[in-house]
């Protein structure tokens, strides 16, 4: 029995099933958490909820007050507290504002918001697959639709082809909607689906060549979390490809394909959105917003174990608050270089930006560019937890129609991706729950995680639009 | 009223990053009075290696209330022990966080009262070790337990000097002759084993991390260049054929 023979396998039914699944899990989480000390709900959700409570209930005097210079507008006092009163809240205040109904409406309000974002994401994935990606993939691998085609120029299709596209779009969007990692993370109260919505909306606007909207949404995405800024690089080439004819582009040098009136406008719109949001938040919440949302992440030292092999190095060289009085051996230039933040930053950003420039040349390749950029950003980051995987898994359903690999190779990729995590998790369990000294072997497994994920990425790059 | 108060604390488990201090408080009141209400106050003094998450403790509101949390590392939940702030005037660097919790007991309590405090272990300061798997064993005491009842308690210890934080935290209405104090026996101190990083690994870790990251960077960059060339080649072919 195939998916196509299932009588009710439509996107509408997949969406309804996904919604019911999420509602069921949220209701279960309330039942479970009321009866068990081991909570279904993620720790982060408690952080968001506490921050939302702080933001809506300022304290007396200087206690829990928004610290920005703008406390009111034309005589109207905002009366905000500070979400940063909550330790470990390191996000935009807009997230805490979004979740203020957790206190006065229902504690699970935020989970329903995150689940709704999941469903919207599934719909966006479906629409992009149906209207842009699958039609493009049905051309030969070397072909690409002409620039400037945009949305709306659709040939009239025969019903069989239309049905086939809808079926494929439904299957691929179900990969996201019914992915256990996706629905468990949102129903546990992680906010990743909100950022995913902004990223997918940016991509949707780009695919429809609404570049002003894409700029606004990219600015919003980057305000929410910094990493989407790398997508801007790949969008520059695509803007040029869709805004100028091939004759005009042939006369442009490489620099001009990246810097021209259209891309400058896009950059201004995107940067202005980011600055406006940041300035507004700073005006109300002041330096704590700036520090916790952005500056903290520049200087953070993640010494606790995580998938990235950098954790052990960070732990071993973590600066002490009371340095030893023993003689300090000066570092060699080699040590200085290795320990420099640039040693991790340059490979990560070099690849994230470089692959954006390399692959961001046509609208058809935009999903591939973003996928590769996100994977390298995550794999080469100095810290990596399971939630980071969502950043690129989000784009995988959109990429699948353009991948040509054997079932054996595909299976190998899945096994390697999962096995490197399993290898690391089995050792991390010994450290965290059994108290065994496995730092060195955990570090080795972190290296294996990096190598394994790079191997998977290379296979995907080779399989992308490969000749069948 | 004659009362006896004794306490026994254990650490479960005595390894790992997330153990729980389990304190069993044995109370015997004679004669009992159904109108009598009693309250337990427990004062924990944790070494810097250990800490509590105050927000996690709030979730145990049905069992007890946290009256006060203070000390080194109260807010720095994410730092290793050697990176905790050192405040001027801190005479005792061996003391980290102090916690005071309150638990109301049902009338006519005869069964032991069990109080569970979840704690967490920071990363310890790395050491140079030839054995390559160094550990530290951190010893500490169980909580100081204070019992107060609405009826006057007799025949119980109230001579032990209470920690200042406990004195400051117990409401004045509970003080006076209605206090009983129990301490963990010194030969029953708690101990947790925690692994430490080994600085002997540092050269290998530096070299290995850098080598693998740079090698993977070069590999991915090379394959990305090849993929880009293939895609551009395909696009060029289409233009030529058109």
Measured CA to CA, the distance from residue B54 to residue B99 in angstroms comes to 9
Q: Is A296 exposed, middle or buried (0-12, 13-18, 19+ CB in 10 A)?
A: exposed
Examine residue A301 and say whether the peptide bond preceding it is cis (omega within 30 degrees of 0).
no
Would you state the structure tokens that stand for residue B119, as one six-digit string?
A: 């704690």
CB A235 within 8 A of CB A360: yes
Predicted pLDDT of residue A6: 54
Predicted pLDDT of residue B43: 92
Of all residues in chain A, the one with the smallest CA distance to B199 is A316
The residue among A303, A314, A319 with the most chain B CBs within 10 A of its CB, best to mutate, is A303
For residue A123, what is the enclosing H or E element? helix A109-128
pLDDT digits (tens, 9 = 90+) for A369-389: 999 999 999 999 999 999 899
Residues from chain A contacting residue B220 (CB–CB below 8 Å)? 351, 376, 454, 457-458
Predicted pLDDT of residue A106: 94
Q: How far is A11 from chain B (nearest CA, A)?
A: 32
* pLDDT (average), residues A390-403: 95
Measured CA to CA, the distance from residue B242 to residue B239 in angstroms comes to 5
* pLDDT (average), residues A314-331: 75
Predicted pLDDT of residue A148: 41
> What contacts B86, CB < 8 A, 6 or more positions away?
A321, A322, B72, B93
Q: How far is A311 from chain B (nearest CA, A)?
A: 10
**What is the CB-side half-sphere exposure of residue B125 using CA atoms within 13 A?**
13
Measured CA to CA, the distance from residue B89 to residue A35 in angstroms comes to 44
DSSP-derived secondary structure letter, A132: I
Measured CA to CA, the distance from residue A216 to residue A224 in angstroms comes to 12
Model confidence at A96: pLDDT above 70: yes
Measured CA to CA, the distance from residue A371 to residue A392 in angstroms comes to 6
Residue of A46, A87, A458 lying closest to B223 (CB–CB): A458
CB B16 within 8 A of CB B121: yes
> What are the distances in angstroms from CA A13 to CA A20, A117, A174?
10, 17, 10
Residues from chain B contacting residue A143 (CB–CB below 8 Å)? 234, 238
Residue of B83, B234, B238 lying closest to A321 (CB–CB): B83
Residues from chain A contacting residue B205 (CB–CB below 8 Å)? 312-313, 316, 440, 443
Model confidence at B46: pLDDT above 70: yes
Q: At A1, is the pLDDT very low, low, confident or very high (cuts 50, 70, 90)?
A: very low
DSSP-derived secondary structure letter, A69: S
Q: State what percent of residues in chain A have pLDDT above 90.
A: 70
Do the chains contact at B217 and A141, CB–CB below 8 Å? Answer: no
- Residue B134 or residue A252, greater confidence: B134
* pLDDT (average), residues A89-97: 94
Per DSSP, the three-state class of B65 is strand
pLDDT digits (tens, 9 = 90+) for A414-433: 999 999 999 999 999 999 99
* pLDDT (average), residues B199-212: 94
Q: At A302, is the pLDDT very low, low, confident or very high (cuts 50, 70, 90)?
A: confident
Q: State what percent of residues in chain B have pLDDT above 90.
A: 38
Burial of B103-136, coded b for 16+ CB within 10 Å and e otherwise, reads: bebeeebeeebebebebebbbbbbeebeeeebbe
Poorest-confidence range of A57-61, A295-299, B127-131, B195-199? A57-61
Number of other CB atoms surrounding residue B238 within 10 Å: 15
Predicted pLDDT of residue A21: 97
Predicted pLDDT of residue B177: 57
Model confidence at A183: pLDDT above 90: yes
- Residue B159 or residue A308, greater confidence: A308
Counting other chains too, the contacts that A104-109 makes at CB distance below 8 Å and 24 or more residues apart are A104/A56, A107/A30, A107/A49, A108/A26, A108/A29, A108/A30
3-state helix, strand, coil in chain B (%, to 5): 25, 35, 40
Predicted pLDDT of residue B62: 85
Q: At B56, is the pLDDT very low, low, confident or very high (cuts 50, 70, 90)?
A: confident
* pLDDT (average), residues B188-214: 93
> What contacts B122, CB < 8 A, 6 or more positions away?
B48, B49, B50, B51, B73, B79, B80, B81
Q: At B73, is the pLDDT very low, low, confident or very high (cuts 50, 70, 90)?
A: confident
**In angstroms, how far is the first alpha carbon of chain A from the final one?**
26
CB pairs below 8 Å between A and B: how many? 169
Residues from chain A contacting residue B225 (CB–CB below 8 Å)? 358
* pLDDT (average), residues B158-168: 75
As a dihedral over the C-alpha atoms of residue A383, residue A389, residue A392, residue A398, rounded to 10 degrees, the angle is 180
DSSP-derived secondary structure letter, A360: T
Distance, CA of A71 to chain centre? 32
CB A178 within 8 A of CB A18: yes
Model confidence at A16: pLDDT above 70: yes
Do the chains contact at A434 and B239, CB–CB below 8 Å? Answer: no
Per DSSP, the three-state class of B103 is strand
3-state helix, strand, coil in chain A (%, to 5): 70, 0, 30
Q: How far is B194 from chain A (nearest CA, A)?
A: 6
CB A52 within 8 A of CB A83: yes
Predicted pLDDT of residue A149: 43
Q: At A37, is the pLDDT very low, low, confident or very high (cuts 50, 70, 90)?
A: confident
Would you state the structure tokens that stand for residue B160, as one six-digit string?
A: 């032990």
Of all residues in chain B, the one with the smallest CA distance to A42 is B56
Domain boundaries, chain B: 3-195, 199-241
Do the chains contact at A354 and B201, CB–CB below 8 Å? Answer: no
Predicted pLDDT of residue B161: 74
The residue among B55, B92, B213, B214 with the most chain A CBs within 10 A of its CB, best to mutate, is B213
Measured CA to CA, the distance from residue A309 to residue A420 in angstroms comes to 13
CB A373 within 8 A of CB A230: yes
Q: How far is B184 from chain A (nearest CA, A)?
A: 25
Model confidence at A279: pLDDT above 80: yes
Q: Could you tell me which of A141, A296, A273 has the C-alpha nearest to residue A214?
A: A273
Order of strands, edge to edge, in the sheet holding B97-105? B65-71, B97-105, B38-45, B144-149, B179-182
pLDDT digits (tens, 9 = 90+) for A118-169: 999 999 999 999 999 998 888 755 555 544 444 444 556 688 888 899 999 9
Q: Could you tell me which of B7, B115, B123, B131 has the C-alpha nearest to residue B63?
A: B115
pLDDT digits (tens, 9 = 90+) for A191-250: 999 999 999 999 999 999 999 999 999 999 999 999 999 999 999 999 999 998 888 888
Q: State what percent of residues in chain B have pLDDT above 70.
A: 79
- Mean pLDDT over each residue of chain A, to the nearest integer: 89
ipTM above 0.85, yes or no: yes
pTM equals: 0.90
Q: How far is A277 from chain B (nearest CA, A)?
A: 29
* pLDDT (average), residues A320-327: 66
Model confidence at B32: pLDDT above 70: no
Q: State what percent of residues in chain A have pLDDT above 70.
A: 91
Predicted pLDDT of residue A289: 93
Residues from chain B contacting residue A461 (CB–CB below 8 Å)? 223-224, 226-227
Predicted pLDDT of residue A153: 47
């Amino acid at each position: 029995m195939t998916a196509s023979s299932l009588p009710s396998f439509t996107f509408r039914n997949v969406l309804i099933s996904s919604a019911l699944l999420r509602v069921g899990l949220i209701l279960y989480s309330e039942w479970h958490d009321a009866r068990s000390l081991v909570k279904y709900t993620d720790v982060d959700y408690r952080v968001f909820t506490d921050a939302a409570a702080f933001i809506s209930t300022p304290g007396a005097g200087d206690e829990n007050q928004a610290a920005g210079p703008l406390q009111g507008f034309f005589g109207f006092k905002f009366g905000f507290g500070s979400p940063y009163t909550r330790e470990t809240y390191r996000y935009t205040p807009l997230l805490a504002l979004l979740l203020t109904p957790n206190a006065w409406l229902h504690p699970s309000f935020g989970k329903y918001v995150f689940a709704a974002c999941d469903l919207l994401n599934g719909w966006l994935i479906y629409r992009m697959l149906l209207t842009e990606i699958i039609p493009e993939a049905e051309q030969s691998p070397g072909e690409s639709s002409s620039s400037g085609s945009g949305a709306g120029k659709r040939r009239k299709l025969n019903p069989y082809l239309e049905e086939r596209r809808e079926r494929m779009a439904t299957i691929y969007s179900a990969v996201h909607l019914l992915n256990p990692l996706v629905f468990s993370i949102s129903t546990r109260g992680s906010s990743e689906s909100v950022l995913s919505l902004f990223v997918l909306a940016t991509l949707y606007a780009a695919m429809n060549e609404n570049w002003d909207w894409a700029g606004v949404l990219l600015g919003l995405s980057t305000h929410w979390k910094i990493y989407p800024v790398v997508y801007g690089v790949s969008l520059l080439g695509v803007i040029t490809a869709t805004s100028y004819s091939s004759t005009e582009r042939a006369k442009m040098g490489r620099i001009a394909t990246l810097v021209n009136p259209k891309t400058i406008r896009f950059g201004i719109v995107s940067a202005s959105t980011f600055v406006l949001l940041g300035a507004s938040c700073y005006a109300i919440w002041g330096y704590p917003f700036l520090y916790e949302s952005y500056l903290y992440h520049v200087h953070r030292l993640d010494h606790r174990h995580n998938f990235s092999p950098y954790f052990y190095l960070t732990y071993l060289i973590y600066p002490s608050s009371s340095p030893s009085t023993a003689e300090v051996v000066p570092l060699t230039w080699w040590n200085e270089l290795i320990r420099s933040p640039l040693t991790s930053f340059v490979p990560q950003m070099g690849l994230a930006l470089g692959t954006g420039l390399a692959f961001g040349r046509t609208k058809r390749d935009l999903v591939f560019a973003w996928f590769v950029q996100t994977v390298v950003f995550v794999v080469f980051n100095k810290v990596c937890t399971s939630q980071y995987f969502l950043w690129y898994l989000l784009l995988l359903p959109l990429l699948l129609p353009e991948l040509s690999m054997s079932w054996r190779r595909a299976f190998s990729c899945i096994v390697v991706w999962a096995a490197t995590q399993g290898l690391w998790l089995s050792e991390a369990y010994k450290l965290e729950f059994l108290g065994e000294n496995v730092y060195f072997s955990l570090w080795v497994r972190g290296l294996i995680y990096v190598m394994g994920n790079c191997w998977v990425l290379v296979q995907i790059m080779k399989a992308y639009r490969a000749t069948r | 009223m004659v009362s006896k108060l004794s306490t026994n604390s254990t650490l479960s488990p005595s390894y790992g990053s997330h153990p729980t201090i389990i304190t069993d408080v044995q109370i015997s009141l004679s004669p009992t009075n159904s109108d009598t209400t009693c309250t337990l106050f427990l004062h924990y003094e944790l070494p810097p290696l250990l800490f509590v998450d105050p927000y996690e403790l709030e979730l145990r509101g049905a069992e007890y209330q946290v009256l006060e949390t203070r000390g080194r590392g109260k807010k720095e939940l994410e730092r290793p022990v050697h990176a905790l702030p050192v405040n001027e005037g801190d005479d005792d660097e061996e003391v980290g966080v102090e916690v005071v919790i309150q638990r109301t007991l049902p009338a006519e309590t005869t069964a032991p009262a069990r109080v569970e405090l979840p704690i967490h272990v920071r990363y310890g300061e790395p050491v140079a070790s030839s054995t390559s798997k160094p550990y530290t064993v951190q010893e500490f005491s169980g909580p100081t337990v204070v019992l107060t009842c609405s009826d006057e308690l007799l025949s119980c210890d109230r001579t032990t000097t209470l920690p200042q934080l406990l004195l400051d935290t117990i409401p004045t209405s509970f003080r006076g002759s209605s206090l009983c104090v129990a301490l963990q026996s010194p030969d029953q101190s708690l101990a947790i084993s925690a692994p430490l990083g080994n600085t002997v690994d540092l050269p290998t870790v530096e070299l290995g991390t850098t080598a693998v990251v740079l090698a993977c960077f070069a590999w991915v960059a090379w394959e990305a260049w090849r993929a880009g060339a293939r895609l551009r080649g395909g696009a060029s072919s289409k233009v030529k054929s058109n």
